[in-house]
Chain A
């Protein structure tokens, strides 16, 4: 079974440009999460989808970040316009639905975003 995949693996853009990150969760997983790790610090939660609905978006830093999960399958995270402090590694994770005893979150390899 394929794991969580993310595209692209790396992205280098200039300040003010737009970047869209994509995450394909494990097939059948209802829960999808976005996290990011900035400058070697802790990995921080951004938001959580249950199917196509946003369950928790308390970690989204500001309105330059827009996450979508149309149809409850893959998700995109758009940063527009990008700022220098947005540089970091963006992780996506997915987990099964609430019927499971423990919803382990499986992480993708991450997208390394560099804003120049």
Chain B
């Protein structure tokens, strides 16, 4: 089945540092999504990307939909304590935005005290 390879698995950073994580796939996706999960909560959508090459920002977050439609990255600038959590890349294969979501294995972001 389709699989998303997400890296890194975990990151320990200093507050104020920039963060970068990425996802690759052997399949072509129509939509790329980035989610964040806080402890005890479900995933929350951060950014949705619809077109190959698209670069989208949401505050300190920036994500790009790779030109081949098989990869995406997420950057977080000037990290703050509330950025801690698990970040998931995800994709949708179908043309309908109601189709199932395929998730990566997640990147756990921690901030060094």
Contact = CB atoms under 8 A, between A and B. Distances in A.
Contact of A43 (B43, B96, B98): B43
A108 B42 contact: yes
Nearest to A95: B98
Nearest to A58: B100
A67 interface: no
Contacts of A45: 100-102
Contacts of A91: 42-43
Contacts of B42: 4, 91, 93, 107-110
Interface stretch (B51-59, B65-73, B103-111): B103-111
Nearest to B3: A42
Nearest to A50: B98
Contacts of A95: 97-98
Given A102-B97, A103-B98, A42 B44 contact: no
**B interface SS class:** loop
Given A42-B106, A104-B48, A48 B43 contact: no
A56 to B, nearest CB: 6
B101 A105 contact: yes
A82 B33 CA distance: 32
26 contacts: A4-B42, A33-B101, A35-B101, A40-B106, A42-B88, A42-B104, A42-B106, A43-B101, A43-B103, A48-B98, A48-B100, A50-B98, A56-B99, A91-B43, A95-B98, A100-B97, A102-B97, A103-B96, A104-B48, A104-B97, A105-B101, A107-B43, A108-B42, A109-B41, A109-B42, A110-B41
Interface of A: 4, 31, 33, 35, 40-45, 48, 50, 56, 58-59, 91, 93, 95, 98, 100-105, 107-110
